Amino acid sequence: MFSPEKKAVVVASMTAVLLIIIKWVFGVLTGSMAILTSAIDSTLDFFVSLMNFFAIRKSEKPIDEKYNYWHWKIEGFGALIEWTIISVSWVLIIYFSILKIIKNEFLQKTSESIYVMIISVIITYLLVNYLSNTAKKTQSLIIKSDLLHYKTDLLTNFWIIIALILIKIFNFPLIDPIISIAIAFYIIYWSIEILKDGYNMLMDKKIDDKHLAFIKEIIKKHKELTGFHFLKTRKSWKRNFIEFHIVFKDDNISLRDAHTISDELEASIIEEIPHSTVMIHLDYFDDSHDINNPKLREFIVKK
């Protein structure tokens, strides 16, 4: 049985196939650079969705002896590859649009082109709604990347319709390749968001500042503690990884009592920040300075 992420990728792939057929057929028949641009985009959507399916399949594999922290980061690589494909393809579209302008090859059949793009907008709108709901439920980076891609498709398809209407009203076919170039730059700009998300996952970016503030506040509320140090966090796919040291006032505190306080902190953090793995180190004195001592680190490694 498919997971919600896999199902979303399959739906996106099938939608892309439908749009590919419609746009390529009418793009060739009408000679519209705007429709051909959109057809190329839909073709790329299909191959990206296909790649995403295998990336999700890999990322959902359970922990094994070789990879002790799941396979989630494959989504980060998938996002970077998707950004590369998007950027290269739209640079090529800019190139071919400029050639159209130089050769004076402009759109002739505007009415048919408008009908095709209206159909495309309706189909893409339905897909965006579906992907948006799936992204909210799963928090999958790949689904978010696909959603961003199709949102830009929806907006660009809308502007293509506006451009085609202007061509028909004012008989100014030069708008066709110009709007293609404008759309290409727009999508390259917005695809940077996909690049950032993939980069942040691979580089273990910290969790949100509001969550960090909550962790610090909840630690300070425990009167048995004098402070904390070495607070480190990272986000990987759906999960947040949080670790820190806490220092107890009573250096003779029992292991049972110290462990109870640690469990209370962990439970409070997980309740506020779901899907979190919390690791708490217990200190009876503040070793935040000693632990950074190169000699001590060397001793710990040798030991």
Express each pLDDT in 148-184 by its tens digit: 778 877 877 787 788 778 877 877 777 777 877 887 7
Half-sphere exposure of residue 83: CA atoms within 13 angstroms, side-chain side: 21
**Residue 198: domain span:** 4-202
Report the distance separating Cα 163 and Cα 165, nearest Å.
Answer: 5
Domain match, 256 and 113 both: no
- Last-in-domain residue among 168, 202, 236: 202
pLDDT, one tens digit per residue, over 196-210 is 877 887 888 889 899
Burial, 195: exposed, middle or buried (Cβ in 10 Å; 0-12, 13-18, 19+)?
middle
pTM, to two decimals:
0.61
Pair (243, 126) in one structural domain: no
Q: Indicate if 76 and 218 belong to the same structural domain.
A: no
User: How far, in Å, CA of 168 to CA of 108, rounded?
Assistant: 9
Nearest partner of 183 among 207, 201, 208, 158, judged by Cα = 158
Q: Would the pLDDT of 257 be above 90?
A: yes
> Does residue 11 share a domain with residue 61?
yes
CATH number reported for the structural domain that contains residue 278 in this entry: 3.30.70.1350
- Same domain membership, residue 198 and residue 288: no
How confident is the model at residue 190, as a pLDDT? 73
Do 154 and 295 lie in one domain? The reply is: no
CB atoms within 10 A of CB 196: 13
Structure confidence at residue 91 (pLDDT)? 81
- The C-alpha atoms of residue 95 and residue 61 are separated, in whole angstroms, by 41
The two structure tokens encoding residue 12: 């996106």
Q: How confident is the model at residue 301 (pLDDT cuts 50, 70, 90)?
A: very low
Q: Based on the structure, what is the number of domains in the chain? A: 2
pLDDT at 67 over 70: yes
CA gap 111, 117 in Å, rounded: 10
Residue 244: is its pLDDT beyond 80?
A: yes
180 shares a domain with 295: no
Residue with tokens 């759109």: 107
Average pLDDT, rounded, for the chain: 80
Are residues 20 and 144 located together in one domain of the fold? yes
Q: Are 78 and 142 in contact (CB under 8 A)?
A: yes
* CA–CA separation, 291 and 229 (whole Å): 11
The pLDDT score that the predictor gives to residue 153 is 77
Residue after which a domain boundary falls, among 202, 229, 256: 202
**198 shares its domain with 275:** no
**Would you state the pLDDT for residue 299?**
38
pLDDT at 214 over 50: yes
Indicate if 103 and 67 belong to the same structural domain: yes
Handedness of CA 220, 221, 224, 230 (dihedral sign): negative
Q: Say whether both 214 and 194 belong to one domain.
A: no
On whether both 236 and 156 belong to a single domain, the answer is no
Domain final residue pick, 202, 229, 254: 202
- Band the pLDDT of 237: cuts 50, 70, 90: low
Which band of pLDDT confidence, cut at 50, 70 and 90, is reported for residue 296? very low
Helices 74-103 and 175-190 sit at what angle, rounded to 10 degrees?
160
